[in-house]
Amino acid sequence: MTQTDTGPGAPAEADARLKLSAAAGYADVPLAEKERLFDEVRADPRFGDYLYGCYECGICVAVCPSARFYDFSPRRIAQAAAREDAELVYQQMVEDIWECSQCFSCVRCPRGNNPGGLVTIMREVAINNGLASAKEALVGYSRIIYKIMSTGTQVSPDMLQEDAFPDWGPETADVSVNLDLWRRALPPETLHTTNTGWKVADSTLIELYLIWLHTGALDMIADVDPSLHAILTEVMEERLEEEGIEI
Amino acid sequence: MSFDTVAVIGGGPGGLRAAHGIAEIGGTALLIEERDFLGGTPIAENYAGLTPHGEPARPQIQAMIDAVTASPGVQVLTSTVVTAVSGEPGAFTLTMRGPDGERQAECGAIIMATGFGHFDPGRETQMYGYYEFPDVITLSDLESMLSDHKVVRPSNGEPPKRVCFVQCVGSRDRHIGNEYCSKVCCGVASKEAIEVRQLVPDSKVYIFYIDMRMYGYWENEIYWPAQEKHHVQYVKGIISEVLAKGDRLLVRGEDTTMGRPMELEMDMVVLSVGMEPSPGTKKMARLLGVQQNKYGFVDAVKVPLDTVTTSREGVFACGAALGPADLEDTVSSAANAAMKAIAYLRSRAAAAAS
């Protein structure tokens, strides 16, 4: 694995007149490395179905929710790939692809392109190559990953703190004060939990952990967040030992 | 010759189709061509493949020539120009100058098939260095290379690694005075771009455009394959100038959809020169006294539903004499003109008999 990316950096020092390539920046990353990553994107078997040719019409941007809130453009994603612009594709893998919500509204492209699908591939390549942007993007998810892997459920009621979910409104604060009471008011007993979404059997948890282990999901976490990986391993080793399972 | 003859001026695809059409429906035609050969611009400029499907041009045009020369109803005069017209509709007398000196012929109707000329990219405000850099060429220069199956930089004979087409050269420009779209250059450039990619597979080919006008089936038959299969790069933004950089060319423009200025090095720059009325079209229009538009093309005065009738009774026009036209337009309007001319003569004859 090669550590290549340097975060959003200063403008490239390349020939200022050659703005087509220099606009992408990241001049400290060799072009050959950017091309290698782009080749990896293009080599994906889905690539041909996700990109035909781009009219540059902007319908994908018009329907893109992320484009309304971020400096993100599915058109530019498709264009950069169509133009075989490895510099710009690299820039997007560092800066843009994490702003896509993967809703795939962009598939209404008249040419049949799937810019969101290109983002999927680019994300996978970014993660597989350990780009710093992938780590940064996943930091926000580390709490959720930890939750899923250690408890078997994703968002738990006690995560719904006002500071973490301001968009949920003022009710979040009211609910969190007497969370346990609110939860016990729910009819199904399996929902009388606060630190997990619902009651999860230990055997389910072990099973999930083994799936993540064998599919390589844990290795990916090790790549992007070694400390999270260390905690998870420790927690799960204990559980596995309790269950008498050896890996 | 007599007044039941239709004179067809111009022996390109339009004139050939018109003359053949007249013969096909039992009329007689006099086909007059200024050059010493038939076939018009596709032959004169050594076209490689016909747009859109790229069939070899020469055999296709030759088949049209053969059809005309094999028709007993058509008399062909090459190396001949019309110098005067007298008489009246239904009974014109043409004065012509040819290899054997001056001669006259009678005809009842006239079809102008005098065609177009390519815009001269050295004219006016063009900054593309056509007469300065050997590697700056036009669509028709490249077409000629393609018919020899050899695409090389004129400066050094090497295959080009980077080629770009600059669209709308001499079209859609108020400064030049040609405000109209030349209609075929988008398709022709895209067809040529595909051929360049096929002949020089490791080349990178760009098309810099204002709008891509790939109407009808040209869209899926040329544009999409060029982009999707042959990876021709379409960049919306027109080149402002071409400069020398070492032994290459530097093109300057804006990548408008990316919102950034650009300067790119090219080995070869192809100017997609538009259509203007040929000198013959302007000269014959004046001579025959038909109304021309401000660009010098012949006005079809009954458009849209009659595309070939001119301002002068008994005189019809077809193809690119009327304005920018592709081959499909040209042969269609030529057949239409043939039909209209014969119908005109027959209606006069019927009126005279009754």
pLDDT at B1: 57
Instruction: Evaluate if residue A168 carries a pLDDT over 80.
Output: no
pLDDT at B124: 66
- Give the Å distances, CA to CA, from B195 to A89, A108, B14, B73, B149: 28, 31, 26, 39, 9
For residue B10, which amino acid is it? G
Which one-letter DSSP state was computed for residue B261?
A: E
Residues of chain B neighbouring A19 (CB-CB closer than 8 A)? 260-263
Which one-letter DSSP state was computed for residue B299?
A: P
Tell me whether B228 touches chain A (CB under 8 Å).
yes
Instruction: Evaluate if residue A167 carries a pLDDT over 80.
Output: no
Q: How many CA atoms lie within 13 A of B210 on its CB side?
A: 13
Tell me whether B240 touches chain A (CB under 8 Å).
no
Do residues B32 and B138 lie in contact, with contact meaning Cβ atoms separated by under 8 Å? no
pLDDT at B51: 86
Helix (H) or strand (E) holding B162: strand B162-169
Residues of chain B neighbouring A79 (CB-CB closer than 8 A)? 257-258
Quick check: A19 and B231 CB within 8 A?
no
pLDDT at A18: 41
Do residues B268 and B293 lie in contact, with contact meaning Cβ atoms separated by under 8 Å? no
Binding-face residues of B in 243-302 toward A, CB within 8 A: 255, 257-258, 260-264
> In sequence order, which residues have a C-beta less than 8 Å from that of residue B46 and are 6 or more positions away?
B143, B144, B147
Q: Which of A15, A21, A56 to mutate to test the interface with B (most CBs of B within 10 A)?
A: A56
pLDDT at A135: 81
Quick check: A83 and B260 CB within 8 A?
no
Whether domain A22-131 has CATH 1.10.1060.10: the reply is yes
Residues of chain A neighbouring B260 (CB-CB closer than 8 A)? 19-20, 23
Task: List the domain boundaries for chain B.
Answer: 5-115+278-353, 119-274
Query: DSSP 3-state assignment of B298?
Result: strand
In this complex, the residue of B234, B236, B260 whose CB is nearest that of residue A23 is B260
Quick check: B228 and A53 CB within 8 A?
yes
Asked if domains B5-115+278-353 and B119-274 share a fold, the reply is: yes
Quick check: B227 and A83 CB within 8 A?
no
CB B287: neighbour CB atoms within 10 A?
16
- Give the Å distances, CA to CA, from B8 to A174, A236, B28, B106: 91, 92, 10, 12
pLDDT at B203: 97
In this complex, the residue of B228, B236, B258 whose CB is nearest that of residue A52 is B228
Beta pairing class for B91-98 and B248-255 = unpaired
Residues of chain A neighbouring B261 (CB-CB closer than 8 A)? 19
Assess whether the previous peptide bond of B72 is cis (omega < 30° from 0): no
pLDDT 10s digits, A46-102: 999 999 999 999 999 999 999 988 899 999 999 999 989 999 999 999 999 999 999
- Give the Å distances, CA to CA, from A106 to A33, A69, A77: 29, 16, 11
Quick check: B263 and A82 CB within 8 A?
no
Interface ipTM above 0.85: no
Nearest CA in chain B to A113: B228
- Give the Å distances, CA to CA, from B145 to B46, B98, B154: 9, 33, 10
pLDDT 10s digits, A110-165: 999 999 999 999 999 998 898 988 888 877 777 788 888 888 888 888 887 777 77
Q: How many CB pairs under 8 A join A and B?
A: 35
For residue A80, which amino acid is it? A
Kindly report, as residue ranges, where domains of CATH 1.10.1060.10 are found in chain A: 22-131
Quick check: A56 and B231 CB within 8 A?
no
Residues of chain B neighbouring A71 (CB-CB closer than 8 A)? none
Total count of residues recorded for chain B: 354
Instruction: Evaluate if residue A3 carries a pLDDT over 50.
Output: no
Domain B119-274: which topology? FAD/NAD(P)-binding domain (3.50.50)
Instruction: Evaluate if residue A24 carries a pLDDT over 60.
Output: no
Q: What distance separates the 2 farthest-apart alpha carbons in chain A?
A: 68
Concatenating the DSSP letter of every residue in B134-158 gives: TTEEEHHHHHHHHHTT----TTTSP
> In sequence order, which residues have a C-beta less than 8 Å from that of residue B243 and are 6 or more positions away?
B129, B249, B250, B251, B252
Q: What distance, in Å, lies between the first and last C-alpha atoms of chain A? A: 26
Mean pLDDT of A160-187: 85
How far is residue B248's CA from residue B235's CA, in Å, rounded to a whole number?
A: 20
A103 to chain B nearest CA, in Å?
A: 24
For residue B228, which amino acid is it? E
How far is residue B339's CA from residue B173's CA, in Å, rounded to a whole number?
A: 36
A84 to chain B nearest CA, in Å?
A: 9
Do residues B108 and B344 lie in contact, with contact meaning Cβ atoms separated by under 8 Å? yes
Kindly give the parts of chain B with pLDDT less than 50.
none
For residue B325, which amino acid is it? A
Structure tokens at A222: 């090790």
Q: What distance, in Å, lies between the first and last C-alpha atoms of chain B? A: 24
Quick check: B227 and A23 CB within 8 A?
no
Quick check: A56 and B228 CB within 8 A?
no
In this complex, the residue of B227, B234, B262 whose CB is nearest that of residue A20 is B262
What backbone torsions phi and psi does residue A211 show, to the nearest 5 degrees?
-60, -45
CATH number for the domain running over B5-115+278-353: 3.50.50.60
Q: What is the mean pLDDT of chain A?
A: 84
pLDDT 10s digits, B200-227: 999 999 999 999 999 999 999 999 999 9
B161 to chain A nearest CA, in Å?
A: 15
Quick check: B257 and A56 CB within 8 A?
yes
Which one-letter DSSP state was computed for residue B126?
A: -
Helix (H) or strand (E) holding B276: strand B275-277
Residue A105, class by beta-carbon neighbours within 10 Å (0-12 exposed, 13-18 middle, 19+ buried)? middle
Do residues B218 and B54 lie in contact, with contact meaning Cβ atoms separated by under 8 Å? no
The torsion defined by the Cα of A204, A210, A211 and A214, in degrees rounded to 10, comes to: 180
Which one-letter DSSP state was computed for residue B76?
A: E
Specify the pTM. 0.81
Query: DSSP 3-state assignment of A2?
Result: coil
Nearest CA in chain A to B257: A56
Nearest CA in chain A to B232: A83
- Give the Å distances, CA to CA, from B95 to A152, B81, B104, B108, B227: 98, 9, 5, 14, 52
pLDDT at B35: 98
Structure tokens at B234: 């379409």
Which one-letter DSSP state was computed for residue B12?
A: S
Residue with tokens 């295959």: B159
Nearest CA in chain A to B233: A83
Which one-letter DSSP state was computed for residue B158?
A: P
Quick check: B263 and A20 CB within 8 A?
yes
pLDDT 10s digits, B229-259: 999 999 999 999 999 999 999 999 998 988 8
pLDDT at A4: 35
